[in-house]
Chain A
Amino acid sequence: AQTVTQSQPEMSVQEAETVTLSCTYDTSESDYYLFWYKQPPSRQMILVIRQEAYKQQNATENRFSVNFQKAAKSFSLKISDSQLGDAAMYFCAYTKYGGSQGNLIFGKGTKLSVKP
């Protein structure tokens, strides 16, 4: 069974600084997608960034970028120039490509605090 592990329950960063959130996963599949979701206090789940496993290039979305290491099954999220609005729970998630399941498998989340 696929699993997703986030080893940092909580992280803190100073405003304007850079922070990296860690995620590792376990799968026997070769094709899959990885995601980072943000959940602010409003509870809404917001997709931050995604990575297709077949792509070697790391995904970037403005201040958010990932370091995808397929062999190591590692998928970290880097937030540059952190802003107060980045404070939230961040979830790493996995889904298998194709087949019969589009379900997301989530890690347990990392609570990010941003200090002014």
Chain B
Amino acid sequence: DTAVSQTPKYLVTQMGNDKSIKCEQNLGHDTMYWYKQDSKKFLKIMFSYNNKELIINETVPNRFSPKSPDKAHLNLHINSLELGDSAVYFCASSQAYGTAFSEQYFGPGTRLTVT
């Protein structure tokens, strides 16, 4: 059983388009995250979200928005895509937020290519 899944795994699109990446976890976790890994392999948090609180990294453009229809899903919507948005996007989840250690489980990543 896949713990954290993302769809699609690969996404190629043109500048200016709007796209979404879906994330689902079947672990019953309370908190989900989105990370961006750039072309130099640097990983950076974009959002963390539980059922009460959304924390946005201030460096994330407002073209990016997380949407959570329920606790098991955290989708990433990106408007007006730019070349610099090309990256691998990872979804992750963990049991609790800001408590004792809770391992983050990562999805397989979505490679987004903007042409």
Chain A positions within 8 Å of B, measured between CB atoms, are: 33, 39, 42-45, 47, 50, 52, 89, 91, 97-106, 108-109
Contacts and interface: CB of A to CB of B under 8 A. Distances in A.
Given A43-B88, A102-B48, A52 B101 contact: yes
Contacts, number: 64
Interface in B39-62: 40-45, 48, 53, 55, 57
A102 B88 contact: no
Given A45-B90, A106-B42, A108-B42, A101 B98 contact: yes
Given A50-B103, A104-B45, A108-B40, 5 more contacts: A43-B111, A98-B99, A101-B48, A102-B97, A102-B104
Given A100-B97, A102-B98, A103-B55, A89 B41 contact: yes
